[in-house]
Structure 1
Amino acid sequence: MNIYDVSEHAHVSIATVSRVINGNPNVSEKTRQRVLAVMEELGYTPNVFARSLGLNTMKTIGIMCSDSSDPWLAEAIYYLEKELRSNGYDSILCCSGYLPETKKKYLELLCSKRVDAIILTGSHYIEARPKDNAYLLETAKDIPLMLVNGSLEGEQIYSTVCDDHAAVCSAAASLIKSGRKSILYLYSGNSYSNLRKLSGYRKAVRDAGFTVKEELMVLCQKDLDAAMEQLKKLSSSGIHFDAVLAAEDILAVGAVKYADQAGIKIPEDLNIIGYNNSILSRCTTPEITSVDNKVEALCTTTVNTLMKVLNNGNVPAKTTITPELIKRGTTNF
């Protein structure tokens, strides 16, 4: 049995049945009772699609992330789903990977589910070339897109970002002020967030009057063993560094492992700073100084903004969250 059967047996329109299901007051009591009696007689239980006819909403939000095994993204998904539930919304999660074609595929899939909005979690959804973001701009004409730590200007696109540029610039400046003269910067890709972090590193080095050296800005696979081996290779090739500033905590863990195996004292001989303030930053000895980019605040702000958007509220297109450096045992400033 479905809503069409109820409509036929009760001799009312589908819209009227939907209004009864959703408790709409614009139905006479006599009609309401007739529809309810038919529903009971037929054993009909309304589903989410039937309810959506009257409310013009599925009360469901699509969430996309590139990799749910990533500690930061996993934590972000937790906070997003928690906040959505507290606002009466369900969610559908898609892990898209990093390839452009799969990102587009899963975005289309979520749109086909008639979700009320889509949250893109992480900065990997924003590409450097404008033409590669065209599909997002086109999708946003029909449905709101919320970006968690990514930024794109367009109609019905709302961004909540951490000031990654300022965070890395401040962390690097702290290392320089404490006497570190050769800071190695490790990063794992060219996403919007990574590029902002890299520009922050460059600024801090230039502001200190140092030369920005390409050999001290190293692209590395996002893996702790890969980071460790990368540092071994750099050291053996004669590149000197007295600090490591990493764009991800997992790369900073690799730096700790490198120092341990090389017999380098932390923090006396080598300072290390990670990023994200994830659980990984507390899993080494010493524990890692890390930038807290406020994942909970990013996610709760995103959902709060979305609720206002869905209720036709006036909201800013972009909201910036201020990060915080959490000092632990891998630095001595």
Structure 2
Amino acid sequence: MNIYDISKKAGVSIATVSRVLNGSGKVSERTRQKVLSVIEETGYTPNVFARSLGLNTMKTIGILSADSSDTFLANAIYYLEQELRRHGYDSLLCCTGYEHDAKEKYLSLLLSKRVDAVILAGSSFIEKNAKQNQYILDAAGDVPIIIVNGYLKGDNIYCSLCDDEQAIYRVTSKLLQSGRTSPVYLYRSLSYSGRHKLAGYKRACADHGLSPDKIKSCCFSADILSVRDLLLNDREFQNHDVFITSDDDMGISVLKYAQASGRSVPDDLCITGYNNSKMGICCEPELTTVDNRLEFSCTNAVSMLMQVLDQKTVPSKTMITGEIIARGTTDTVF
């Protein structure tokens, strides 16, 4: 059964059947119902690729994510997919890993599927080396590119992100103002977001008079318990009274370290996380964190995309202010 059979059985032209399938208003209600009845009776399913030729759209958005097992990225995928569905769009998800060649390969794959746009979920897609971002700029010549939690300047590229640098700056500044004197920043990577968080921490320390040798930071890529053990085996960390971390998992690692080493939280040391994940309220004491408003960022990203697809003018960058959520791992008024 195809569109020609439907037109013959309904006694209308092929063009009329096509208008009904495409939702065109140029069909009388009586004719529309006649065609829909035949479609229901025969169980006809239109070929999505054939329809796309007439509509010039697949009603499908590609989503690239480095790692869907990551809690932050998993939440981003969920929010994006739900919002796209609400606007009548399907999603194609590719999990690329963190290798540059794989990211480029999967973006090319999505373009070959004739998606209407591509959303890059997560800041790991934006490389410090500008040449490594060229494949994204090239892809934007074919379809709109939306970036969540990162920024890349280019035509047909639109970004929705939290001001991570300012959020970490505010957290660090408040803790130093409260009388803490020996901070350390723990992070997992130097992605676009990671670089800006680290910059916010360093800037706050410098603005509060800490000498360069007192501005400590350390990168750990291990899991929660492994990071705990690494901290326990390095006596230097006993000298720090503030642990500012790049995500809630890292913050909980520090809390595990404090409990294992007999240090009181928040009396002996304060701890902050980032992302406001559910894990932050599943520990004792509950974790002070930064809410980067991921759901709003994803909703805003899809809203931007819908306006772009409607050929409306939208800003290339929307910066969102994070909110400090004070809980039991700090004793500071934020």
TM-score higher than 0.5 here?
A: yes
Give 2:265's aligned residue. 266
Kindly indicate whether the alpha-carbon contact (under 8 Å) linking 1:222 and 1:251 is maintained by their aligned counterparts in 2: no
2:246 aligns to what?
247
Question: Do the aligned partners of residues 330 and 162 (structure 1) sit closer, same or farther apart at CA in structure 2, a change above 3 Å counting?
Answer: same
- Are the equivalent residues in 1 in contact too, given 2:183–2:241 (CA < 8 A)? yes
Shift of 1:194: 0.2
Q: How far does the alpha carbon of each residue in 1:67-96 deviate from its partner, in whole angstroms, 9 at most, with x for none?
A: 111111111111111111111111111111
Name stretches of at least 5 consecutive residues in structure 2 with no aligned partner: none
Cα 1:43–1:287 shift into 2, 3 Å: closer
Query: Shift of the alpha carbon at 1:158?
Result: 0.2
Say which SS state the counterpart of residue 186 (structure 1) adopts: strand
Matches within 5 A, 1:305-320: 305-320=304-319
Partner of 2:68: 68
What is the DSSP-based 3-state SS (H/G/I as helix, E as strand, rest coil) of the residue aligned with 2:273? strand
- 2:294 alignment partner in structure 1: 295
After superposition, the Cα gap between the structure-2 partners of 1:258 and 1:110, relative to the gap in structure 1 and judged at 3 Å, is same
Look up the SS of the partner of 2:64 in the other structure.
strand
Q: Structure 1 pair 14/199, CA: closer, same or farther in 2 (3 Å)?
A: farther
C-alpha separation between the residues in 1 aligned to 2:144 and 2:47? Answer: 24
54-63 vs 113-122, which moves further: 54-63
Is the 1:18–1:50 Cα contact (8 Å) retained in structure 2? no
- Matching of residue 196 in structure 1 with residue 196 in structure 2: yes
How far, CA to CA, are the matches of 1:331 and 1:179 in structure 2? Answer: 12
Q: What is the SS of the residue equivalent to 1:142?
A: coil
Q: How many pairs are equivalent?
A: 332
Cα distance 1:33–1:229, how it changes in 2: closer, same or farther (>3 A)?
Answer: closer
Deviates more, 1:5-14 or 1:56-65: 5-14
What does the per-residue CA deviation read over 1:36-74, in whole Å, with 9 as the maximum and x for residues that have no partner?
Answer: 899789864213223323321111111111111111111
Question: Which stretch has the larger CA shift, 164-173 or 47-56?
Answer: 47-56
CA RMSD of aligned residues (A): 2.7
Whether 2:29 is the aligned partner of 1:56: answer no
What secondary structure does 2:212 align onto? coil
Aligned partner letter, 2:301: T
- Distance verdict in 2 for CA 1:33–1:163, change over 3 Å: closer
Mapped partners of 1:129, 1:234: distance in 2: 33
Does the CA contact (< 8 Å) of 1:187 and 1:219 recur in 2? yes
Distance 2:17 2:179 in 1: 73
1:149 partner letter: N
Q: Give the aligned residue type for 1:211.
A: S
Name whichever of 213-222 and 246-255 sits farther off. 213-222
Residue 44 to residue 213, structure 1, CA distance change in 2 (3 Å) = same
What code does the residue aligned with 1:242 have?
Answer: D
Which has the larger displacement, 259-268 or 47-56? Answer: 47-56
TM-score of the superposed pair, with normalisation by structure 2:
0.90
Match of 1:93, SS? strand
**1:114 shift after superposition:** 1.2
| Map of 2:329 onto structure 1 | 330
| Structure 1 alignment gaps of length 5 or more | none
Report the equivalent of 1:286: 285
State the AA in 2 paired with 1:145: I
Q: Deviations over 1:84-127 (max 9, x none)?
A: 11111111111111111111121111111111111100100000
Match of 1:166 in 2: 166
Over 3 Å counting, the alpha-carbon distance change for 1:291 and 1:29 in structure 2 is: closer
Match of 2:89 in 1: 89
1:232 is displaced (CA, Å) by 1.8
Assess if the C-alpha contact under 8 Å between 1:167 and 1:200 holds in 2. Answer: yes
Does the aligned pair in 1 maintain the 2:231–2:237 contact within 8 Å? no
Q: How does 1:54-133 map to 2 (within 5 A)?
A: 54-133=54-133
Is 1:227 the equivalent of 2:214? no
Identity, in percent, stands at: 52
**Aligned residue for 2:148?**
148
Residues 54 and 196 (structure 1 numbering): CA distance in 2 closer, same or farther, change over 3 Å? same
Q: Deviations over 1:143-188 (max 9, x none)?
A: 0000001100011100011000000000001110111111110011
Where does 1:15-30 land on structure 2 (aligned, <5 Å)?
18-26=18-26
d(CA) in 2 for partners of 1:230, 1:13: 73
Secondary structure of the structure 2 residue equivalent to 1:260: helix
Flag the 1:36–1:231 CA change in 2: closer, same or farther, 3 A.
closer
* AA matched with 2:324: L
Q: Residues 86 and 38 of structure 1: is their aligned pair in 2 closer, same or farther, counting only changes over 3 Å?
A: closer
Deviation at 1:229, TM superposition (A): 2.2
CA shift for structure 1 position 30:
11
Q: Which moved more, 1:185-194 or 1:37-46?
A: 37-46
Distance change >3 Å, CA 149–CA 40, structure 1 → 2: closer
Distance 1:260 1:314 in 2: 53
CA positional deviation for 1:19:
3.2
- SS for the counterpart of 1:319 is strand
Equivalent residues of 2:171, 2:324 under 8 A apart: yes
CA distance in structure 2 between the aligned counterparts of 1:194 and 1:286, rounded to whole angstroms: 26
CA–CA separation in structure 2 for the residues paired with 1:12 and 1:108: 41
